[in-house]
Amino acid sequence: MEVKTCEQYVLQKLEIAENDVESLKMDIICKNSQIESLTDELNEIKSELNEIKSFIQRRFTIYESLNDNSLNFDEPWEKHDEHDYRLIVNILKEGQEGK
């Protein structure tokens, strides 16, 4: 549409602005849907982590001393590497902070 008058110019700008608003509304709807989906996924992960933490707390006991922490393994014949040990200690520490 060729603009010949001020009114036509204003109407053209208004139409463009209305189209932009509609586009932004659709973007908001899509983003809200993504946020809901990610929130659900996050809640599932948190639930799984709580189950793992609960399992670890049932199988291991943490003993804190002045210099270091130690774990009492229910099955001491199992081999545990240093990374697993530190991970378990950190998880159990977090569990005790809430008590």
The pLDDT of residue 70 = 60
Residue 89 one-letter amino acid:
V
The pLDDT of residue 36 = 96
- HEC sequence for 32-93: HHHHHHHHHHHHHHHHHHHHHHHHHHHHEEEEECCCCEEEEECCCCCCCCHHHHHHHHHHHH
Query: Residue 80 in contact with residue 89, Cβ under 8 Å?
Result: no
The pLDDT of residue 68 = 58
Look-up of token digits 């399992």: 55
**pTM of full prediction above 0.85:** no
The pLDDT of residue 67 = 55
From the first residue on, what is the mean pLDDT of each consecutive set of 10 residues in the chain (99 residues)?
A: 84 95 97 96 90 73 58 60 73 61
The Cα 45–Cα 50 span in angstroms is 9
The pLDDT of residue 4 = 83
